[in-house]
Structure 1
Amino acid sequence: MESTPRRAGAVPADRTERSTLTLHVNGAPRTLTLDHRTTVLDALREHLGLTGAKKGCDHGQCGACTVLIDGRRANSCLLLAVAHDGASITTVEGLADGDRPHPVQEAFLARDALQCGYCTPGQICSAIGAIAEVAAGHPSHVTRPGARPDTVRRSFGPEEIRERMSGNLCRCAAYVNIVAAIGDAAAGRAAERPEAGGPVRPRGGRQ
């Protein structure tokens, strides 16, 4: 069988389909050689073993894959890794300060703001991004038109939280406690469980 002739000037496929890049993940540089079609999510999960960010819809609709890229929340399933060479990426695995969880993680535990836990890493990363957006005075769709940045910062109540978190879906419908946990974290409050006992632990194993 005759092979298909290659176009004049065409570059062999094995030289065009992979590139070497460096992602700064949770504070550490990670150099990878990846297929150009590899998403940031697959780079994290399949190549770096960081399985906190979940592959839910794989279409940017559920928010389970949310991570922080250069300090801003993003759906990692929609982003090509090669387009983020040099970017700083923070996943749920990199939020804790040593053995101390991030304040948003602590608030989620205290408020029992999870059930199966599948969406929780994305919810937490998105919440951190949303709190940062409010701190910077960025308005949302429900912010009063013409509101000043200081007004935005003071108005981060349940309505604002629900709007800003609307891209993160919870199949277990734990929204009431998620909103409360984000409100606690944003206000700098250490939420306390209403009943006696130790901290709530996430259910389930590796997903």
Structure 2
Amino acid sequence: MELHINGQAVQVDADPAMPLLWVLRDLLNMTGTKFGCGVAACGACTVRVDGLAVRSCVVPAATLVGKRIQTIEALGAPGKPHVLQQAWVAEQVPQCGYCQSGMLMAAAALLEKTPKPSDADIDAAMTNICRCGTYQRIRIAIKRAAGMGPGSTGKRRP
């Protein structure tokens, strides 16, 4: 089957029922997307599909043919991190870091849909679980990335 991952068409020989998470990690060696719970509860496996945050551990790869899939590997570039990645560092969001790729992908989907999110918007969109409990830092970092928080320039960068 052909999947469109990070702007490239990729051929994968996988069982159509195989969850996208395992296609990414096991077949394509893209290990930025993490396995957490396997039941779509924690969000460590979050990727973007056609711009929406999706839990890849429960989505059969075959259902994504023809859709645009973005993983954490394509959120920024070496030497040019995404504005969310910059905000994550500035606000010292990660502690253990395990959930952060999923958090960043969920935050990217939020900002694409809602460029100036309220606290309620952030709470509704960020349903990922962080065992370290950095939720307040995540909220501040999202606002910084949106140009709404301390240290922001007031402008969103692509």
User: Do they fold alike, i.e. is TM over 0.5?
Assistant: yes
Unaligned stretches of 5+ residues in structure 2: 153-158
Report the alpha carbon displacement of residue 175 of structure 1 after superposing the two structures with TM.
0.9
Question: How do 1:128-143 residues align onto structure 2 when only pairs under 5 Å count?
Answer: 128-135=108-115
Matched, 1:66 2:46: yes
1:89-131 CA-to-partner distances (Å, cap 9, x unmatched) read: 1111111145200000110011001100000000000001011
The answer to whether the aligner puts 1:103 opposite 2:63 as a matched pair is: no
What is the identity percentage for the equivalent residue pairs of Structure 1 and Structure 2? 36
Whether 1:180 and 2:140 are equivalent positions in the alignment is: yes
Q: 1:38–1:81: 8 Å Cα contact kept in structure 2?
A: yes
Q: TM-score, normalised by structure 1?
A: 0.69
Unaligned residue ranges in structure 1 (runs of 5+): 1-20, 136-152, 193-207
Match of 2:103 in 1: 123
1:1-207 matched pairs, under 5 angstroms: 21-135=1-115, 153=116, 156-165=117-126, 167-187=127-147, 191=151
TM-aligned CA deviation for residue 188 of structure 1: 6.4
The C-alpha deviation readout for 1:40-92, integer Å capped at 9, x for no partner, is 11100111111111110110111111001112111111110011112211111
Q: How many residues align?
A: 152
CA distance in 2, matches of 1:189, 1:100: 21
Kindly provide the CA deviation profile for residues 159-197 of structure 1, in whole angstroms up to 9, marking residues without a partner as x. Answer: 3212221x21100001111110001111266848xxxxx
Asked if 2 retains the 8 angstrom alpha-carbon contact of 1:63 and 1:122, the reply is yes
Q: Distance in 1 between the 2:107 and 2:51 partners? A: 12
CA distance in 2, matches of 1:133, 1:174: 23
Instruction: Tell me how far apart the structure 1 counterparts of residues 33 and 41 of structure 2 sit (CA, whole Å).
Output: 14
Is this contact kept in 2: 1:53–1:91, CA < 8 A?
yes
Are the aligned partners of 1:67 and 1:73 in contact in 2 as well (CA < 8 Å)? yes
User: Matched residue of 1:116: which SS?
Assistant: coil
Which structure is larger by alpha-carbon Rg, 1 or 2?
A: 1
**3-state SS of 1:34 partner:** coil
Q: Does the CA contact (< 8 Å) of 2:140 and 2:149 recur in 1?
A: no
Structure 2 CA distance for aligned equivalents of residues 104 and 74 of structure 1: 18
Q: Deviations over 1:23-44 (max 9, x none)?
A: 1111111101111221111100
Code of the aligned partner of 1:79:
V
